[in-house]
Amino acid sequence: MSARRKWLTMLSPILAASLLSLALAGSGEPDKLPDAAGMSSSGPQQLASDAWLNSRAIQARLSSGAVAVQTIVNGEPSRGTVEAAIRIHASAREIWPFITKCRYAAWLIPGLRRCRTLETAPDRSWADIEHLIQYSLFTPTIHTVFRAEFRPPYRVDFHRIGGDLKHEVGSWNLLPSAGDTTTVVYRVSLQPGFWIPKFVVRRTLRKQLPAALRSLRKHAQELAATESSPPP
């Protein structure tokens, strides 16, 4: 394998880690994180930005078990928005821990080395989270610090407050759907702060981001199946 191809092969998971490092509002101390049962919520709400989910084609993809992904590119170099959705046979409360606790973060974020809470609101409505990511010994370390705002068990909003990435803001939205399922919608607007070839971005969005969401579905559905099983 040529040196250039090796570099591009390593760059793709770095981008995937950058996309998902903002998604997990995890804490190194799970008992201090917001708990869906312990905070009030305004209930699930589909936002105007989620309107793309209403098309028949997207609904068909979700119903078939596929991950739906769309990208929005603006005029600034290396900056754009990614929206992805997946349907999970589990409730929002069962999915909530997987997007809010550090102990599960490594299942979704490739190369996650550290996840910890730096500061938490007295009412646990928000937390400042630090992630340290290194995909391999031969790739650079990515340091991110972001504030996550919790509306359990349906929504997490996050935005950059420090670290290596130049711009990042996004959300998780958990929407109850037909047949006791939940549609998980992930949105992030990101500018890494370093140049990335467009085809690497496309490869990451086509393969690695959907793989992360499928991992979320796998673990959430396993938990849901365990909790719904009658005792022996």
In the chain, domain spans: 3-228
Average pLDDT, whole number, for the chain? Answer: 77
What is the pLDDT at residue 70?
Answer: 87
Sole residue written with tokens 């105007």: 48
Q: Beta strands of the chain (E only): which ranges?
A: 68-73, 80-88, 112-120, 126-133, 142-151, 155-163, 167-177, 181-191
Whether residue 32 is predicted with pLDDT greater than 50 in this model: the reply is no
What is the pLDDT at residue 40?
Answer: 47
What is the pLDDT at residue 24?
Answer: 54
| More confident: 5 or 28 | 5
What is the pLDDT at residue 107?
Answer: 82
The β-bridge partners of 131 are: 115, 144
Q: Are 120 and 126 in contact (CB under 8 A)?
A: yes
pLDDT, average across residues 176-199 = 80
What is the pLDDT at residue 179?
Answer: 86
Q: Are 191 and 166 in contact (CB under 8 A)?
A: yes
Whether residue 188 is predicted with pLDDT greater than 70 in this model: the reply is yes
User: Which superfamily does CATH assign the domain made up of 3-228 to?
Assistant: START domain (3.30.530.20)
Task: Express as a percent the part of the chain with pLDDT over 90.
Answer: 36
